[in-house]
Structure 1
Amino acid sequence: MKKYIHVTWIFALMIFMSFADADFYSSMTKVDYLEGSKTLKFTTKLNTAHISDAIKINPNTASFEAEVKKYVNNNFDLYVNGSTKNLTFTGSQVNGESVWVYFEASGIGEISTIRIKNTILLSAFPKQFNLVNIAYKGNQKTMNFQRGKEVNEVSF
């Protein structure tokens, strides 16, 4: 019995150590529909070091926000009810290890489907995982994106 417990602890330690050096690459986007203004508001949280590496700019420089805007515009596409929607970048904020990016799509009426193409950081980090949570009129939908699955669609 003692040997069994010892082997179990060694196995558990090996599993723990296999994750110790692994970097976790992810982004998370929250999408809220504002019915009064018929706007989809997007808030994306990225790792500061990861986005800085991808766009090759120090986050403390004046041009960082402009480069983040360009990067998001090139790596995030929105289709509502089959129609392409323009995204308007409304700002970003560096907060330690996180960069918060804000953008929106206006003129959004009733939604039956939302399709998103999200390639944020996928070319820079092969194991990147992007999560998008959408709240629309009391309904919550979740989309996952990774290499090989850059496009996702949900219905309401």
Structure 2
Amino acid sequence: MIVNLLIKMKKLLYISGILTFFVLMSFTYVDFFSSMTKVDYIDGSKTLKFTTKINTSHISDAIKINPNTAGFEAEVKRYVNNNFDVYINGSPKTITFTGSQVSGETVWVYFETGGVSDISTMKIKNTILLSAFPKQFNVVSIAYKGSQKVMNFQRGKEVNEVSF
């Protein structure tokens, strides 16, 4: 009787030790590297509007400038222009940077491309933060004339294409 009770207590202690280990491991700090871009087609102006959400400290580390300094927006503009390309129906489009906004842990970046009448294919090259963070994962969500498409980018898959 006492032996059975001791065996049950030993099992209970073993199981509670394992559970404690997993609970403590769940509090381990893991940094998640991602950016998200929403693309909206504005039919009236034949424009694609891009809104990109990037972690403030990650972009700051990548461009080597403090987000609270005057030159931050100019560096973000240069960085996005060098790391995001759009091709509509096989033709490259010029991206026009329209602004950025630091909001705590997030930097919002706004840019657009005009002269887009009809889209049969859209190819995007998105290397935002891929060279700075090996596990970076970028998502682009496109809304075009009632259609919704999603693209994913990471190291080794920097270019993606969708058809409408």
CA distance in 2, matches of 1:116, 1:52: 23
CA distance in 1, matches of 2:66, 2:107: 12
TM-score (norm 2): 0.88
In the TM superposition, what is the alpha-carbon distance from 1:22 to its structure 2 partner? 1.3
**Aligned AA (1:90):** T
Aligned CA-pair RMSD = 1.7
TM-score (norm 1): 0.92
User: Residue 4 of structure 2 corresponds to which residue in structure 1?
Assistant: none
Q: Deviations over 1:50-108 (max 9, x none)?
A: 00000000111111100000000000000011110000000000111100000000000
CA distance in 1, matches of 2:112, 2:26: 40
Query: Is residue 2:138 matched to residue 1:130?
Result: yes
In the TM superposition, what is the alpha-carbon distance from 1:10 to its structure 2 partner? 4.6
CA distance in 2, matches of 1:16, 1:155: 41
Residue 93 of structure 1: SS of its match in structure 2? Answer: strand
CA distance in 1, matches of 2:37, 2:68: 23
In the TM superposition, what is the alpha-carbon distance from 1:6 to its structure 2 partner? 3.5
Out of 126, 136, 148, the position equivalent to 1:140 is 148
Unaligned runs of 5+ in 2: 1-7
Out of 19, 22, 44, the position equivalent to 1:9 is 19
In the TM superposition, what is the alpha-carbon distance from 1:21 to its structure 2 partner? 1.8
User: Residue 114 of structure 1 corresponds to which residue in structure 2?
Assistant: 122
Equivalent residues in 2 for 1:1-156, closer than 5 Å: 3=12, 6=16, 9-10=19-20, 12-13=22-23, 16-17=26-27, 20-156=28-164
Q: Deviations over 1:110-140 (max 9, x none)?
A: 1011100000000000010100000000111
**Aligned AA (1:121):** L
Unaligned runs of 5+ in 1: none
CA distance in 1, matches of 2:18, 2:117: 57
- The percentage of aligned residue pairs carrying the same residue is 73
In the TM superposition, what is the alpha-carbon distance from 1:12 to its structure 2 partner? 4.1
Q: Which runs of 4+ in 1 moved over 3 A?
A: 1-8
How many residues align? The count is 154
Question: Highest CA radius of gyration, 1 or 2?
Answer: 2
